[in-house]
């Protein structure tokens, strides 16, 4: 299975702030008791070299073309910042650790799992979320293609799929079915709507090309 997700970690951050350690420590246990119970590797990150935090800090995120101010602890992911702090609930939190794609947003033109990006690391990036794509009355061609092909059942994976599809098509305007399989292989759907999604992506590709030609 190949995934085009890019966690978008600025190289200079890696040394100062152990993202891996952080991700391991997040979302897996009930403090001292829970930590280590659920996943053997669950160890807290060693304290970083006095960079920021642990308290909340004000940051500015550029979401759907608008600057948004929010105050979050450095440990808060972009996914949690969107859902819990900014009430943008279109992207979903499902696996909490970069395995399902339900939290996909587009950052600087590439689709990323927002649960594996820290909100503070998303500063200065162009973040596109499903909320910026167009509502039910004026659907984006990708959403429209999902609708046309009944590419959803419970809908919980769908916003992530739509965003992953948009990110993929922005980069690969002429995908073959095989490309599609690889490009969107990082998104899970438990309802099993993959047949519809496969058709939707190909239809969206055609529609977006058409839109470009006409426009």
Partner 1 sequence: MKIAGHPVPHESARGHVTGEALYTDDLAGRFPQLLHAWPVLAPHAHAMLTQLDASPALAEPGVHATLTVDDVPGENDSGANRRDEPLFPGETMYHHQPVAWVLAETLEAARRGAGRVHATYEVLPALLTIPDAAGAESLHAGPLRLHRGDPAAELRKSPYRLDGSFEIGGQEHFYLETMASIAWLDESGGVAVHSSTQHPSQTQEVVARVLGVPRHLVTVECLRMGGAFGGKEVQANPWAAIAALGAWKTRRPVRVRLPRVLDMALTGKRHPFLARYSAGFDEEGRLLALEATLYSDGGWSLDLSEPVMWRALFHLDNAYYVPAVDVSGFVCRTHKTSQTAFRGFGGPQGMLAIEDILDRIARRLSLPPEVVRERNFYREGQTTHYGQPVKDAGRISAIWQQLLQTSGFAGRRAAIAEFNAAHPHRKRGLAITPVKFGISFTAAFFNQAGALVLVYRDGSVQVNHGGTEMGQGLHTKIRQIAAESLGLPLDAVRIMPTRTDKVPNTSPSAASASTDMNGAAVADACDQLKARLAPVAGAMLGCPPDAVSFSGGTAHGRGNPVQSVGFAEVVEAAYRQRIALFAQGYYRTPGLHFNQKTGQGEPFHYFAFGAAVTEVEVDGFTGEHRVLRVDILQDVGDSVSPLIDRGQVEGGFVQGLGWLTLEELLWDAQGRVATAGASTYKLPSWCELPEVFNVDFLERATEPGVIFGSKAIGEPPLMLAISAREALRDAIGAFGPGGVVALDSPLTPERIYWAIEKGRGNLILQTTADSGVIRA
How many angstroms separate the CA atoms of 125 and 68, rounded? 12
Q: What is the largest CA-CA distance in the chain?
A: 60
Name the 3-class secondary structure at 105: strand
Query: Within 52-81, which residues bind ligand FES (CB under 6 A)?
Result: 79
Q: Does 163 bind ligand FES (CB under 6 A)?
A: no
| Interface with partner 1, residue 97, by CB under 8 A | yes
- Closest distance between ligand FES and the C-beta of residue 193, in Å? 5
Paired with 118 in beta bridges are 77
Partner touching 171 among ligand FES, partner 1, none, CB below 5 to 8 Å by kind: none
Residue 85 as a binder of ligand FES (CB under 6 A): the answer is no
Burial of 114 per CB tally in 10 Å (0-12, 13-18, 19+): buried
Residues 2-31 touching ligand FES, rule: CB under 6 A, are none
Q: What are the residues whose beta carbons fall under 8 Å from the beta carbon of 68, sequence distance 6 or more?
A: 60, 61, 62, 86
Q: 60: which strand partners?
A: 69
Which residues within the stretch 176-215 sit at the binding site for partner 1 (CB under 8 A)?
Answer: 181, 184-185, 187-198
- Select the binding partner of residue 159 from partner 1, ligand FES, none (C-beta < 5 to 8 A, by kind): partner 1
CB of residue 186 vs partner 1: minimum separation in angstroms?
A: 8
């Amino acid at each position: 299975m190949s995934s085009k997700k890019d966690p978008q970690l600025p190289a200079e951050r890696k040394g100062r702030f152990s993202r891996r350690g952080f991700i391991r420590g997040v979302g897996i246990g009930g403090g001292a008791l829970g930590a280590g119970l659920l996943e053997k590797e669950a160890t807290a990150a060693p304290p970083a070299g006095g960079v920021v935090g642990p308290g909340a800090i004000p940051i500015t995120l550029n979401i759907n073309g608008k600057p948004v101010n929010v105050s979050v602890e450095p440990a808060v992911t972009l996914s949690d910042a969107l859902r819990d702090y900014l009430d943008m609930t279109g992207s979903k939190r499902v696996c909490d650790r970069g395995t399902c794609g339900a939290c996909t947003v587009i950052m600087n033109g590439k689709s990323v799992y927002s649960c594996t990006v820290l909100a503070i690391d998303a500063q200065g990036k162009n973040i596109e979320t499903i909320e910026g794509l167009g509502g039910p009355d004026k659907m984006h061609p990708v959403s429209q293609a999902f609708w046309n092909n009944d590419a959803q059942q419970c809908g919980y994976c769908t916003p992530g799929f739509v965003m992953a599809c948009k990110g993929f098509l922005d980069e690969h305007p002429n995908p073959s079915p095989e490309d599609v399989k690889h490009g969107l292989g990082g998104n899970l759907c438990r309802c099993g709507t993959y047949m519809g999604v496969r058709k939707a992506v190909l239809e969206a590709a055609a529609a977006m090309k058409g839109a470009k030609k006409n426009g």
